Amino acid sequence: MFRKTILPLVFSLFFIQTIQAEEKYDVSNIYFHMGVIGAFAEMVNLDVKKIGLSEMFSASDATKYEPIIKQITQRNGVLYYREDNFLVTDLYPAMKTQGLSLFLIYKDDSLDQYLALKEKKKNLIAENKYDKIARYEIAFQFGKLLSYPDKNIKILLNKNEKP
């Protein structure tokens, strides 16, 4: 009797772990992404983070899921901003964001701070002053806006440092 019970139990536990290990956390698992947005909305509402970022979406998927994101953010007392031209810094490789959309979860003046940082980068580029130091400063300021600890910002910047 014990063998008949334990063998199926062990097999089912192994099978469940295998399925979970192989699960893809891309847009095909939209429930995962909406859960992440809900968690970020709660953290922004509770002042744990100034801005939360969704995963990247294609433009059509962003349009498709935007009403749900609106509902999630309203329920959590925060706002969202659809970003189709994400601020690329040395925090993350540009290839992760090119041609894609994401949603910023925010409240208060955090969106204004984000947009001002984008404008500052744009102006530095136009003035031909977007050098290594300026890139570092923009990326560091963006990391602070994302409420990352200084040491984690530095780790990301070192990891993605350009030659």
Place of tokens 């003035």: 127
Decide the pairing of beta strands 51-53 and 79-83.
unpaired
Closest by CA to 52, choosing from 133, 124, 116, 107, is 107
Rounded to two decimals, what is the model's pTM? 0.80
- Across the range 69-96, mean pLDDT stands at 93
- Which is higher by pLDDT, 159 or 161? 159
Task: Please give the Cα distance from 86 to 74 (Å, whole number).
Answer: 23
Contact 110, 145 (CB under 8 A): yes
Q: How confident is the model at residue 9 (pLDDT cuts 50, 70, 90)?
A: very low
pLDDT recorded at residue 163: 57
Q: How confident is the model at residue 57 (pLDDT cuts 50, 70, 90)?
A: very high
pLDDT recorded at residue 25: 43
Burial of 79 (0-12, 13-18, 19+ CB in 10 A): middle
Long-range contacts of 26-31 (CB under 8 A, 24+ apart): 27/55, 27/57, 27/58, 27/61, 30/65
